[in-house]
Every structure is written in C-alpha cells, then in structure tokens.
Amino acid sequence: MKCAVLGDPIAHSLSPVLHRAAYDALGLEGWTYDAVQVPGGTLVGFLDGLMPAGGWPPGEWRGLSLTMPLKREAMALLGGRVASVSHRARLVGAVNTLVRTSYGWAGDNTDLPGAVAAVRERSDAAVTKGAILGAGATAASTGLALVELGAREVTLLARDATRAAETISVIGSHPAKPSVSVLPLDAAPDADVLVSTVPAAAQTPDLVARWQDVPVLFEVVYDPWPTPLVAAARGSVVSGLDLLVHQAVLQFELFTGQAAPLDAMRAAGERALGLTRA
C-alpha cells in the first residue's frame, strides 16, 4: 500500500520518518510512505494522475497527507475529486488528510484533534482562556483546539489586526461560540494556555519576559529547539513535535486501520531532529 505527504516545499517534512517508523514497529511489510513535491494549484492533476485507466480506485494508493499550500485547495475539491469531508475539516476549513474509500477520496483534518491530544498529554489543567501569538492558518486550527479544550475566550496577538479577520471567523464558527478578540503583539492578556505560532527570531526578550509564567506554553515550532519562549518557560511545555506526532498518529490509524505506535513515532522524530541539529 502506498502513502505520501504532498506539499511545496516538502523536503524538510518529518512525516515520512514518523510513518515509516510506525510501519517498522508494527511489521507492516509492503507499506511505503514518501514525500512528493506538489505545488499549489496542481493537486487536481496529481490526484488524476493516480487514477488507473479503468477509473476508481487508484491502485495501491491508500492515503495522502497534505501540507502547505494544499490544505485549503483540497477543501475546494469537495464534490469533485474529494467525495466527502469530515465535520472537523469543515470546521477548520482545511483538509490535511485524504483516505481512499470505496467511493472516492475522503477528506479529514487531524491537526485539530492532534493539537488537543498534544496539550492533554502534557497538562490536564482546566482551560478557560487562551492566547495565541500570530493570526495565520496555524493560529486558526490551534485556536479551535483551545476551544475544544474548554476555552471560552481566545485572544489573538498580532502586529496587524486587519489580517486576522479569517482566523477570527474560523475560531468564532465553533459551536461553543467562543469570544475571539485581537490585541497588539505586545499585550499580555490573562491566559491558561499560550500558543506561539511565531518564529524563534521574533521572540524578543520583552515578549519572552511577558509569558514566562504562563501555565501552559504550546510552542508549534520544533526546530530550532528550544526557542526563547521554551527556554524561559516555568510551566508545562507542549512542542511542535508533540503536535506533529499526534496528528500523524491519527493519520496512520485512518490509513491502516491499526492502532499507531506513538512512542516509536515520537522517538523517530526526536532522532531525526537530533541529526538535523548536528
């Protein structure tokens, strides 16, 4: 059975490392997982290229992981190349997983439940208020995760509030109807969890000092590690690798129908990052 991660750029992706480690741990011979460069605007052509001459189903292909810039592009294919989309993918407005079914590709999103699982693995504390550094696509999915964890107030901290409109709309669309607001990046609202979606280079000493006592820091960056925020954190820390592993665990289970070996996948990711840093 064939699986792959698609995106552009894609050479840096850890997904092949994680999925292959799971295959090895469970002895799944004959399963492959590769990284394939698929630029934006070309997903339709790639999916069509998988189709055999006789039509659906596409041979040995079982599952596809999607990264940027294809997640929203896949949503637009609903009713065409993508036959169905899960409720959570509709909520996020993005598909990061395509699974072959008897009737066509089924779209799903494992970023949202993966983020929830990553936080809960590191902390069982109550979440009523959340703050997010940044207001892009990652802020949207992690903001929804904060609401799933119990947050009723989510504050976006951004340099340009005018660019946060789509993210506000996505988080605010959650059935729980959270309050979503935007403040300048130098604000420090009360929060049980801080999600950082900004690069390490943007984590200034002043910003770090404002957030070093937050109960839970969710740092979506995993390389370089530790970031300035992580190095100064006094509370629980959730890493970008935690997020990547948990969303990959869910993808693996959707693709194979088997329980994923989380520990083996995490260890493989840690080894790969250690080699990268060396």
Residues with active-site annotation: 71
Write the Ramachandran bin of 65: left for phi over 0, alpha for psi from -120 to 50, otherwise beta. beta
Instruction: Give the per-residue SS3 of 75-86.
Output: HCCECCCEEEEC
CA 199 – CA 134 distance, rounded (Å): 10
Please provide the size of the chain in residues. Answer: 278
DSSP, res 51? S
Report the Cα 65 to chain-centroid distance in Å: 11
CA 6 – CA 81 distance, rounded (Å): 16
Asked if 197 and 134 count as a contact pair (C-beta separation under 8 A), the reply is yes
Asked if 144 and 175 count as a contact pair (C-beta separation under 8 A), the reply is no
Write the Ramachandran bin of 27: left for phi over 0, alpha for psi from -120 to 50, otherwise beta. left
